[in-house]
Amino acid sequence: MRQIVLDTETTGLSAENGDRIIEIGCVELVRRKLTGNNRHFYLNPERDSHVDALKVHGISNEFLKDKPKFSAVAAELLEYLQDAEVIIHNAPFDISFLNKELELMGGQPLRYCVAKVTDTLMMAKEVFPGKRNSLDALCDRLEVDNSGRTLHGALLDAELLADVYINLTRGQNSLMMEVGDSSQQGEHAPVVDLNTFELPVLAANDQEIAEHEKLLAGMDKASKGQTVWRTATGAIEKVA
């Protein structure tokens, strides 16, 4: 499945109260690899940004006056997002704005276009409970270079979030293996699903068991009987 990491910048905090999208940035991942097939739009929101919002994104009202309206780029955006998994940090915020823009032009909510929406903020809260999980905090924690992020920008933030998502989900892949040189074959490279194979279980032979017991005995002697398996076994025997 294609994955699209998406971010928006807006005139304020509430789509229901009339705030609009001024910038959309999208980064494409195929098999967890950046493809370079990205999308970036500046939009005329037909209203001014709040002062506090300007401090966050720094995109002036004057700069946006000659940019297209959302309705002018909607078809291209929806075609790009079609059937993809969309990855967003604090997804309810961005989705509420996208849905409002679609509603204003008589369109359906985004869920009718995409395969699913993944919220990296919720993922981060599960992995790092009780910690700050802003994009900047996650970049620091997951060693993603965000030194160029002085102001919020939709495309830059989407690129950073793509790296954060890859690091956040590292080690959670299914047992899949590419065959051949995927760099030459592109996204159509054949894949072998290792889950379909029944892996044999090879038991240790007598000699290997003896060597293992010898090693354990040496470790137990060196720790004066305080090895974990000895103390754990004693505790279990007392309970029994």
CB neighbours of 63 closer than 8 A, spacing ≥ 6? 42
- Amino acid sitting at position 41: F
Planar angle of CA 193, 88, 76, nearest 5 degrees: 90
Rg of the chain's alpha carbons, rounded to an integer? 26
Distance CA 71, CA 83 (A): 20
89 belongs to the catalytic site: no
- Amino acid sitting at position 91: A
Beta carbons within 10 angstroms of residue 225's beta carbon: 9
Of 89, 152, 188, 212, the active-site residue reads: 152
Which positions are catalytic?
A: 152
